[in-house]
Amino acid sequence: MEIATARSHNPKRKRDTTSPPPPFSNGENAADEIDLSLLDAIEKSQSLSKSQPIETLDLKTLKKLILSFERKYKENIESRLKYPDQPEKFADSEIDLHNELQKLKILSSAPELYPDLITLNSIPSVLSLLSHENTDIAIDVIQLLQDLTDEDVVEMSNENEEESMKVLVNTLIENNVLELLVQNLQRLSDSDDQDEMAAVYNTLATVENMIEVEPKVAEMICEKTRVLKWLLGKLKVREFDSNKQYAAEILSILLQNSEANQKKLGQMNGVDVVLQAVAMYKSKDPKSGDEEEMVENLFDCLCCLLMPLENKERFVKAEGVELMIIIMKQKKLAYGSAIRALDFAMTNYPPACERFVDVLGLKTAFAAFMGKASYFYPYHDLGFPNGGILRGSRRERVLSKFVESECEKIDRLMELYIRYSDRVKEETKRMDELELDDLEMDEDERYNRKLESGLYTLQSIAIILGHLWCSEHPRMRARIELLLRQQKLTKNDVKDILLEYHDNIGDLDGPEEKERVQARVLKFISAFELS
């Protein structure tokens, strides 16, 4: 897009995972299936561990922890091999193993010891337990991995500890943690057991943690596992829950900066699945803040999917344009998100622009544009900045809208131009005053602050004015000049906005696209200069 926007994903929600799940739970009536004596044993062991707090965590203590864990790990393997059909014979070793995994959680408070943890070669043993026949042991490992990779450890640590975290994550990857986590998801996801549902959530949190530490994980997990298929499956579930919410967030993270993931999901019918998920909110609003966040993430997924050309084609074939227009007409919470999705779909893709015009989208779009809402979304330009509509075969139909009702839409455009121009001027004045107080800012920071104050929207409006001016329609030009004079402005003011935009166009979409956009903006600037 000519003016790129990005939305950071929301911080992940924290779930209380301090209480260990009961062993041998399979998601049915736990009270009927769990040996209460085993629960008593766990409670006693926990009480004992609290009465005997662990000594100061250092390399010596780490070695003791790992040695104890490895011993219990081997004892459990031996007991299961010796008594495969007699659970009561290996129950005690299972409880011991559970307790050892709980003790290892303390390592998250000492990331500087992660390299030593790796050197002691305990990672393969820990990860092998993700495939343990007792799902409660696998759940313990998931909780441990989440604690060890938690972003709070990274944020509060120094550079050496951050490097230790990277080393840990890369070692986990080398030992197939991504494949094991996703395989485990498939075994947990059909269960209604609360502990297993929590484990699904914690697995997603662990994936997000690893992406925070090593962004390459986003593409690796999609290449090596079937995580995209699993996430799409969660989006197909009609009922809302926290795991569906988190699945939508993780999917948006995986798609954010990866064209490979965007294309792969498109090939998996992902566009249609996401459209079906958002269609549930075409005539109703989310019932809670969490559900509202999920809807936002779903639209983030859709916008990311609409970046590759082939997915734009899938969007049009799946009648995505029509769905977005329906959502706009309903004026529910997803209204603004639908406009944003249309803007992505119509950017540099004439067939979407033509479909939009053909299904009477202009009527809905201009109704929104003429509304008196106090907030004007910068992405509500619906293809005008990229020129898709105004350059296509429906150009005359679009231009005719601007001269209807005595050019009222140009009046509205100039009203918004003045509003956002004033905001940018106020922010520029404020920054100048800060610099007088010796709080200097470089040019990039000044420009970014102006964008946040409304410059992005002002640039969008200036580009639309450039399209209108280049049409050489006498009534349009006369109206624009009249409104500028009324505000004691000239065409040079619009030209200056366009020139600043031209000089700051990035090459996110490649150097050829940058040159193409810059050439178009120069055309607008020249038109304002010559007339």
pLDDT per residue as tens digits for the range 134-184 = 999 999 999 999 999 997 876 555 788 889 999 999 999 999 999 999 999
CA 531 to the chain's CA centroid: 45
Maximum Cα–Cα distance for the chain, whole Å?
92
pLDDT for 55 equals 60
Q: Give 206-262 as a 3 state SS string.
A: HHHHHHHHCCCHHHHHHHHCCHHHHHHHHHHCCCCCHHHHHHHHHHHHHHHCCHHHH
pLDDT for 157 equals 52
pLDDT for 6 equals 36
161 in Cβ contact with 111 (< 8 Å): yes
Mean pLDDT of the chain: 85
pTM of the model: 0.82
pLDDT for 262 equals 98
Exposure pattern of 248-269 as b/e (b: 16+ CB <10 Å)?
A: bbbbbbbbbebeebbbbbbeee
188 in Cβ contact with 234 (< 8 Å): no
Report DSSP state, residue 452: I
175 in Cβ contact with 127 (< 8 Å): yes
Residues 6+ apart with CB under 8 A from 310: 263, 266
pLDDT per residue as tens digits for the range 15-30 = 443 333 333 333 334 3
| Identity of the amino acid at 374 | S
Closest C-alpha among 274, 268, 396 to residue 337:
274
377 in Cβ contact with 340 (< 8 Å): yes
CA dihedral 12, 15, 18, 21 (to 10 degrees): -120
pLDDT for 190 equals 62
pLDDT tens-place values along the chain, 531 residues long: 443 443 333 444 444 433 333 333 333 343 344 444 444 554 555 554 444 455 678 999 999 999 999 999 999 999 999 988 888 888 999 999 999 999 999 999 999 999 999 999 999 999 999 999 999 999 999 999 999 999 787 655 578 888 999 999 999 999 999 999 999 998 886 667 888 999 999 999 999 999 999 999 999 999 999 999 999 999 999 999 999 999 999 999 999 999 999 999 999 999 999 999 999 999 899 999 999 999 999 999 999 999 999 999 999 999 999 999 999 998 888 988 998 999 899 888 989 989 999 998 888 888 888 874 434 454 444 444 445 566 666 778 888 889 999 999 999 999 999 999 999 999 999 988 887 666 778 888 999 999 999 998 899 899 989 989 998 899 999 999 999 999 999 999 999 999 999 999 988 778 888 898 899 999 999 999 887
Q: Say how far apart CA 342 and CA 353 lie, in whole Å.
A: 9
From residue 466, give the alpha-carbon distance in Å to each of 20, 363, 392, 480, 489: 63, 22, 16, 11, 16
pLDDT for 293 equals 97
